[in-house]
Amino acid sequence: MIAQTKAAIRNLGADCGVEELMLMRVLLVVASAAGMPLLLHGQADFAAKLRENRQAISVRNGQLTGPGAALLNSAIARSRFVLLGETHGVSDTARFAEAVCRAAAPERFGVMAIEEGSLAAAELERWARRQEEVKLPEFEKRFPETLNIYNSGEELAMLRTCTQAGGAGFRLWGINQEGLGAAGLILTRILETHPGPSGDAAVRELLRKHDEAYRKAAETGKIGDLFMIAADDRELAAAAALLEKDGSPRAQALFASFIESHEINRAWPADGGRRTRLMKTLFAADYAEAAASQRTPSKVLLKFGAFHVYRGWNPLHENALGNYVAELAAGQGAQSLHIVLMAVKWSGPLFTGVGKPFRTREFDLRNDPRSRYLQPVLQNIGETDWSLFDLRPLREALRRAPASVDPELAAMIYGVDLLVMVPEGSGATSLR
């Protein structure tokens, strides 16, 4: 902050008188000695601009309401892609996504891309189309640790609402590697394609080792003991060669997804680049397939973790899926809308180990050192209402006074169009 203050003083030198500049330098010395941040007029202008572009918004009876609803509905109508970034495990995101789906349905949004593998998304789509209650615990018992996010009542209800709102042609796309425990599901689906004798035997042996690995992981609680990560590369290569000889194209594609997911899951988070590339590749393939069968370009909703939806460089220094979609829209002469929803305070489920019950943890952005960059936002939210901040008008103010804002907040302002802040959220309800 002190470095930013010095830069701001240099920028203001041409506009201030000698006495004002001397006073500001004295304040800088005092602030430096006390270790305190100093609010300059660039920061004050930014805070005022932030308040000026805040509107209340809420979800009532599944619909967007409040002054911010009109702005959001208008932005959705003008966009070809709407990206919703979230903090995983906050049920308010599912409520908000339901309302966004209802608002997007009249605008012919026919697809929702989610942060699950393609195979898991196919399972979820089938469940979303059913009228009866989905028996997720039974699925989790048979294929544990397969779903990344959509293992809560709120998320499944959201998928059902979005599928119904989108109509008969609505589709779910899985734009991610398969989950940490998904090897069992993949191998089971390969056996259902009825490969030849040698391929069948190889896959059954891998499935046996998968079950053995899960029993070990459930004892130790360690993710690294799951077969998706612990599988032997030589055994996988041998099985792939056998399926090339006597497996169908479907079986070969499924096994290729297993190998790719195995590589990504065991390297993450050290190598997030490969995962990002896979997301882009899967989205491009699904979008091209949809474009080939439709007269007009598909309109797509995307729901991912917040950093995935940024336009430009995100805080992890990646050009993630959100940037790819933004460039795709620009190349088509269309628009993309990038939204992030965050709860200031909530109680959420915390993973404690494979096969172990979740533990509830209290989260509060005001006390989180990693969220200091959000302080200007947190100081300007409503006490009870949700707050919708339109970040787009702030970009010009930021260009004029770049030193007035934390670099991570600046990345958000350039990368996200609309920020929705929930004063007190709720944790998702696990159905495990």
Report yes or no on 94 lying in a domain.
Answer: yes
Report yes or no on 393 lying in a domain.
Answer: yes
- Are residues 307 and 412 located together in one domain of the fold? yes
**Of 267, 284, 313, which residue constitutes the final position of a domain?**
267
Sequence letter at residue 180: L
**What domain range includes position 329?**
44-108+296-424
Strands (E), 245-399: 299-305, 336-350, 359-364, 386-390
Report yes or no on 76 lying in a domain.
Answer: yes
- Are residues 403 and 379 located together in one domain of the fold? yes
Query: Is the distance from CB of 203 to CB of 226 less than 8 angstroms?
Result: no
| CB half-sphere exposure, 147, CA atoms < 13 A | 23
Q: Which of 404, 407, 399, 394 is nearest to 8 (CA)?
A: 404
- Are residues 70 and 95 located together in one domain of the fold? yes
Sequence letter at residue 380: N
Report yes or no on 168 lying in a domain.
Answer: no
- Are residues 319 and 381 located together in one domain of the fold? yes
Query: Is the distance from CB of 365 to CB of 374 less than 8 angstroms?
Result: yes
- Are residues 343 and 254 located together in one domain of the fold? no
- 277 Cβ neighbours under 8 A, 6+ residues apart: none
- Are residues 2 and 73 located together in one domain of the fold? no
- Are residues 331 and 417 located together in one domain of the fold? yes
- Let me know if 313 is exposed, middle or buried by CB neighbors in 10 A (0-12, 13-18, 19+): middle
**Of 249, 267, 285, which residue constitutes the final position of a domain?**
267
- Are residues 85 and 23 located together in one domain of the fold? no
Can you tell me the distance from the alpha carbon of 111 to that of 280, in angstroms, rounded to the nearest whole number? 16
Please report, for the domain that includes residue 344, its CATH number.
Answer: 3.40.1660.10
Report yes or no on 56 lying in a domain.
Answer: yes
pTM of the model: 0.87
- pLDDT value of position 39: 40
Can you tell me the distance from the alpha carbon of 129 to that of 132, in angstroms, rounded to the nearest whole number? 9
- pLDDT value of position 31: 40
**Of 217, 247, 267, which residue constitutes the final position of a domain?**
267
Report yes or no on 250 lying in a domain.
Answer: yes
- Are residues 99 and 216 located together in one domain of the fold? no
- Give the phi and the psi of residue 412 in degrees, each rounded to 5: -65, -40
Report yes or no on 279 lying in a domain.
Answer: no
pLDDT in tens, the chain (432 residues): 444 444 443 444 444 444 443 433 443 344 444 443 434 456 777 888 999 999 999 999 999 999 999 999 999 999 999 999 999 989 999 999 999 999 999 999 999 999 999 999 999 998 888 755 567 778 888 999 999 889 888 999 999 999 999 998 899 999 999 999 999 999 999 999 999 999 999 999 999 999 999 999 999 999 999 999 999 999 999 999 999 999 999 999 999 999 999 999 998 776 779 999 999 999 999 999 998 888 778 899 999 999 999 999 999 889 999 999 999 999 999 999 999 999 999 888 788 889 888 888 889 999 999 999 999 999 999 878 899 999 999 998 888 877 778 999 999 999 999 999 999 998 887 756
Report yes or no on 283 lying in a domain.
Answer: no
- Are residues 187 and 230 located together in one domain of the fold? yes
Can you tell me the distance from the alpha carbon of 316 to that of 270, in angstroms, rounded to the nearest whole number? 12
Domains contained in the chain, number: 3
- pLDDT value of position 30: 42
- Are residues 344 and 257 located together in one domain of the fold? no
Torsion, Cα of 364, 368, 373, 378 (10° steps): 20
Alpha-carbon Rg for the chain, nearest whole angstrom, is 24
* DSSP H stretches of helix in 82-196: 91-104, 118-129, 136-142, 153-166, 183-191
- Are residues 340 and 355 located together in one domain of the fold? yes
